[in-house]
Structure 1
Amino acid sequence: MAYEVLARKWRPQQFSDVVGQGHVTRTLTNAIETDRVAHAYMFVGSRGTGKTTSARILAKALNCEKGPTPYPCDVCDSCKEVMAGNSLDVIEIDGASNNGVDQVRDLRDNARYAPARGPYKIYIIDEVHMLSTQAFNALLKTLEEPPEHVKFIFATTDVHKVLPTILSRCQRFDLRRISVQDIVDRLRKGCEEEGINITEDALLAIARGAEGGLRDAESALDQIISFRGKDIGEDDVLAVFGLVSRHVLENLTMAILKSDVPQIIHIVAEMDQAGKDLQRVVMELLESFRNLLVVIYAESGAAALELPEAQLAYYKNIAPDFEAGRILKIIDLLVEADGRMRYALSKKTLLETGLIRCSRAAETATINELLKQVADLKKNFKSGGAVAGSPSATTVSFGTSGQKKKIAPAGEVETLLKTWYEIIDQVGKADLLAKSSLLNTAPLKTTETQLVVGYDPEFTNDRSRLEDNRAKLALSRAVERYLGRQLSVVYEPLKADDPRPLPADKPMNSSGAGKTQMLTKEQQWYANPVVRLVVDAFNGEITDIRE
């Protein structure tokens, strides 16, 4: 007898044998048991997910001599004919080669005749999206109101090419890609039946390469058996299909996360020399980082990944050490690298540069991390934890938590004298009338809670304007930008020997003269001790200010 490939030999014969499509088989089983079988079904899914297999099992269940039954006997003549593909009542049509309107007219004419043996005449049209528009239109009326003995079952990989008028007349089932774990379990069971010794890593490598298609996995296993015999290891699978081992992927993943560029270059060079598909490596890395991201976010719900236990344990082990924002950056860069590599002559060069960029993203702090550290610094600052060696430590000292802050006033008056006219100009933005009165004043001293401002006795009449609450509040807020704390303002007359604002510091007029001595906005913010503490902690600079 001629050899039968594993994909055909292991083809499911019962609904319970179909792998990974429980939502489809359960619905069809219930429909048969409750006598609610529709006249037209549309099976949608990628290759190797069980579309044609499900259609044949449904046809067999409807025409079984014991049926219709969700559990066909597989021994009656009708079941055997369906399994052999020579049943007169189950007509399988290839939509790619029978896509004309003439073939559909013949189908429509033959549908009127009663079935030869069973209760139903069943038409299975594979790759139905290949039918022409005229052929679809010719089928519409028959599909909407077929004879009672006719059932239509369509299968397609490109459902978007099927006319909506066809879809609306069918019950649609979307067949999912089969999970890696389900493929591994099915291959393991088949290997046990065939007496084949194969390692778990080898099964996992085959399942990864199948990309959700069980038929692809079975065909790959068939090829490996021809190459290696009945004792198969992971290296055999990798050698035949150019895949990358799970351990190499894990090492490359960790090298990226730890920004180990020499290790990245070394691993890429080894893969290139071994003839691995570098484009596929990017896809494998994308899947790896996606799994890691799911584990970081999902925690206990990570079991939904349906990964083998050893692989899931690996992701759970490393997830606490890495921040999700960085993983998202790496995924974005891998997607970009994948798109560029599709049209590149030197895939190795693009892969190396892409992974190096990923490694840099892995060590770059995200905005969320920076904000968290800033919040921690501010909390520490407020609770009395001035950072040793920071600029603020020379001008600000704190007691224990819960005590009042003790501000060292040394240097504060000098700072205010140098910038007094700039402060007056800021007050003028809030209270224009107070600005002219403040031109005849000068800062005298600061205490823990107060700023003492002297006014020229010659202009005593202006004091009432200076004592206005709005003017005092504007002055207090302007001073806060330079001293980093808000003080209440009190006034007293100037004495002859009291220091005055430096002559070089001239008041600003409406034309903008005198701006040469004006501190920039960044410098003003940097004078704030809290801001200075954060900037120095990150060894950074102020580039943008948003108020």
Structure 2
Amino acid sequence: MSYLVLARKWRPQNFEQIVGQEHVTTTLRNAIRTKRTAHAYIFAGARGVGKTTTARILAKALNCAQGPTETPCNQCTSCLEITGSRSMDVLEIDGASNRGIDQIRDLRENVKYTPTQGKYKVYIIDEVHMLTKEAFNALLKTLEEPPAHVVFVFATTEVHKVPITILSRCQRFDFRRIQLNQIVSHLKKMLSGEEVKAEDECLYIVAKKAEGSMRDSISLMDQLIAFSGNSIKADDARQVLGLVDEEMYFKALELVRAHDKPGILSLIDQVAVGGYDLQEFILGWLAHLRKLLLIAAGSGRTAAGEMTPDEQEKFTQQAQGLDDRDILRMANILIDAEATMKRSSQARLILEMACLRLCNLDSTVRLEEVIKLLDQGGDDPEKEEPPAPALKPPQQAKLNVSPIKEEPAEYTAPPQPLSRDFESLWQSLITAVQERHMTAGTCLASARPVGVSDGNLILSFGPQANFHKKSLEDKAYQELIQEETFKLWGQKLKVVCQVEKGQASQTPQVKETPQRLSRQDEIDRRKSEVMESPQLKSFMDAVDGEVV
């Protein structure tokens, strides 16, 4: 007798044996028990998650000698014939090779014949999305009102390609990718029955490679048994599957953080000489960074479900010194390299260039910290030696709005410097005015607040914002703003408008949403003012930095 592969040998024969699809099996079992079985089902999901297997078990449950029953006996003639794919009442059709209208016409002619042995005639059409448009249309009437003895079960990996007219006539079940721990647990049970020993790390490697597909994991394990015999180690799995040891990714990241360019190039040479696929190396490194990103972002529980207990400790230790922004920058470089590698013949050069770029990265520093450092004269208070190059302290913090150079004749006292409290009140004023009058609020949002002096709210406009300036000088708008300033400041402030000379217009584009307009305008204004700082430009040039 020829060898039967493990994927077929260990194929589930009843609903209880199906792994990871409890939401499907429970519904089908209840429907059979309460005699509420539908005439058409569509099973959608990734490869190897149990769609066709569930369809066969459903056919056995309907045609079992003791049924319809939710627990087929697997001993009667009908069950044995369905298991051996010999049943005349259960027809499995490959949608990819029987996709034309002629095949569907033949099916329509055959459905009127009653079953030869069982109670139902079950049509299982795999990869149903491959049928042509004409074939789907020919199936519509039969699918809507089939004979009482016919049940259709469609399986597809691309349910979005199935016409909505077909979906609306079926009960749809979405099969999930099987979780890592469930695959590992099932592999242990299977290997125990096969009298094969395997390291836990090996099982996790196979489960990760399968990407949620139980059939893929069993097929890979069958391959490993052929390679290693009855004792399988993790190194055997990496060698057969062409996977890079996880320790290589830990080492690569440490070399990048240490800016060790010779070390990282030596590591790439080791990977290339070892015969590993360089694109697979990048994908594995990205998967490594993803786990670190989840931990750094506070989602360690999500990452823990994809790691062994030993790996959890290692990842946690490495993530302690990493900022999520740094991980994102490294991941972007690797993603660009992987995309470039697909359309280039110089895979190793692209990987080496990407690794050197990673080594040139410095830790991310918040812009606020840079401004604070510049305000202190370029000296880091935590260090004894000043950083090079030496920077002169700026005359004023760039996060505050610059005061006007010429004071209008309507007031004598200089405007009060803007504080964070004032900026908060300013945003509240814009929101309140916009809620009462959209045009007035939009004009107010386009202004740059200078300060408050002698009962006046001083606003500055760009040379091209003459419309907004004149609008706010209107008496009705003035009274509206005075009412709102009284609620916020406790006094009615008169709006005094002035035009900035020799500067480009700073009037922002009007957004549809009022609150989003004021917030984005404030962010853009602050960023532009900060980036115009000559001290900041000198600092960025000196450290070869970039704003992210």
Deviation at 1:290, TM superposition (A): 1.4
Q: Counterpart amino acid of 1:193?
A: G
Deviation at 1:114, TM superposition (A): 1.6
* C-alpha spacing 1:242/1:261, structure 2 compared with 1 (3 Å): same
What secondary structure sits across from 2:406 in the alignment?
helix
Q: Counterpart amino acid of 1:184?
A: V
* Conserved? CA contact 1:390–1:536, under 8 Å: no
* Conserved? CA contact 2:294–2:300, under 8 Å: no
**Distance of 1:524 and 1:341 partners within structure 2:** 38
Whether 2:278 is the aligned partner of 1:278: answer yes
**Distance of 2:176 and 2:63 partners within structure 1:** 27
* Percent of aligned positions that are identical: 41
CA deviations over 1:416-451 (Å, ceiling 9, x no partner): xxxxxxxxx9755332x4xxxxxxxxxxxxxxxxxx
Deviation at 1:52, TM superposition (A): 1.0
Whether 2:371 is the aligned partner of 1:429: answer no
**Distance of 1:543 and 1:208 partners within structure 2:** 37
**Distance of 1:522 and 1:113 partners within structure 2:** 80
What is the match of residue 368 of structure 2?
371
What is the match of residue 406 of structure 1?
none
* Conserved? CA contact 1:198–1:233, under 8 Å: yes
What secondary structure sits across from 1:473 in the alignment?
coil
What is the match of residue 454 of structure 1?
none
* C-alpha spacing 1:536/1:157, structure 2 compared with 1 (3 Å): closer
Deviation at 1:235, TM superposition (A): 2.2
What is the match of residue 107 of structure 2?
107
* C-alpha spacing 1:236/1:471, structure 2 compared with 1 (3 Å): same
What is the match of residue 423 of structure 2?
none
What is the match of residue 451 of structure 1?
none
Deviation at 1:207, TM superposition (A): 2.2
**Distance of 1:386 and 1:242 partners within structure 2:** 48
Deviation at 1:471, TM superposition (A): 2.9
Deviation at 1:323, TM superposition (A): 1.0
The 5 Å alignment of 1:8-87 reads: 8-87=8-87
**Distance of 2:161 and 2:146 partners within structure 1:** 23
**Distance of 1:523 and 1:301 partners within structure 2:** 39
What is the match of residue 461 of structure 2?
none
The 5 Å alignment of 1:91-240 reads: 91-240=91-240
Deviation at 1:181, TM superposition (A): 2.7
CA deviations over 1:225-259 (Å, ceiling 9, x no partner): 22222122222222222111222233234434444
* Conserved? CA contact 2:540–2:546, under 8 Å: no
* Conserved? CA contact 2:45–2:174, under 8 Å: yes
Deviation at 1:315, TM superposition (A): 2.3
**Distance of 1:97 and 1:209 partners within structure 2:** 29
The 5 Å alignment of 1:100-499 reads: 100-299=100-299, 301-302=301-302, 305-361=305-361, 363-366=362-365, 369-371=366-368, 429-431=406-408, 433=409, 470-474=411-415
**Distance of 1:51 and 1:153 partners within structure 2:** 10
**Distance of 1:319 and 1:239 partners within structure 2:** 28
CA deviations over 1:491-521 (Å, ceiling 9, x no partner): xxxxxxxxxxxxxxxxxxx999xxxxxxxx9
* C-alpha spacing 1:338/1:542, structure 2 compared with 1 (3 Å): closer
What secondary structure sits across from 1:244 in the alignment?
coil
* Conserved? CA contact 1:205–1:245, under 8 Å: no
What is the match of residue 456 of structure 1?
none
Bigger Rg over Cα: 1
* C-alpha spacing 1:15/1:542, structure 2 compared with 1 (3 Å): closer
* Conserved? CA contact 1:522–1:542, under 8 Å: no
What is the match of residue 521 of structure 2?
none
**Distance of 2:382 and 2:322 partners within structure 1:** 29
Deviation at 1:335, TM superposition (A): 1.9
* C-alpha spacing 1:427/1:298, structure 2 compared with 1 (3 Å): closer
What secondary structure sits across from 1:289 in the alignment?
helix
CA deviations over 1:440-468 (Å, ceiling 9, x no partner): xxxxxxxxxxxxxxxxxxxxxxxxxxxx8
Q: Counterpart amino acid of 2:73?
A: C
* Conserved? CA contact 1:234–1:245, under 8 Å: no
What is the match of residue 493 of structure 2?
none
**Distance of 1:275 and 1:511 partners within structure 2:** 64
* Conserved? CA contact 2:74–2:80, under 8 Å: yes
* Conserved? CA contact 2:95–2:130, under 8 Å: yes
Poorly superposed stretches of 4+, deviation over 6 Å: 375-378, 385-391, 521-526, 534-544
**Distance of 1:542 and 1:345 partners within structure 2:** 32
CA deviations over 1:388-419 (Å, ceiling 9, x no partner): 7779xxx99xxxxxxxxxxxxxxxxxx9xxxx
* Conserved? CA contact 2:62–2:120, under 8 Å: yes
Deviation at 1:135, TM superposition (A): 0.9
What is the match of residue 462 of structure 1?
none
What secondary structure sits across from 1:301 in the alignment?
helix
What secondary structure sits across from 1:153 in the alignment?
strand
* Conserved? CA contact 1:427–1:471, under 8 Å: no
TM-score, with normalisation over the residues of structure 1?
0.70
What is the match of residue 507 of structure 1?
none
* Conserved? CA contact 1:291–1:305, under 8 Å: no
TM-score, with normalisation over the residues of structure 2?
0.69
Deviation at 1:333, TM superposition (A): 2.1
Deviation at 1:474, TM superposition (A): 4.9
> What runs of 5+ residues in structure 1 fail to find an aligned partner?
397-414, 416-424, 434-467, 478-485, 489-509, 513-520
What secondary structure sits across from 1:86 in the alignment?
coil
Q: Counterpart amino acid of 2:179?
A: S
What secondary structure sits across from 1:429 in the alignment?
coil
Deviation at 1:365, TM superposition (A): 0.8
Deviation at 1:180, TM superposition (A): 2.9
* Conserved? CA contact 2:125–2:154, under 8 Å: yes
Deviation at 1:104, TM superposition (A): 0.8
**Distance of 2:94 and 2:25 partners within structure 1:** 23
**Distance of 2:192 and 2:17 partners within structure 1:** 16
**Distance of 1:252 and 1:124 partners within structure 2:** 49
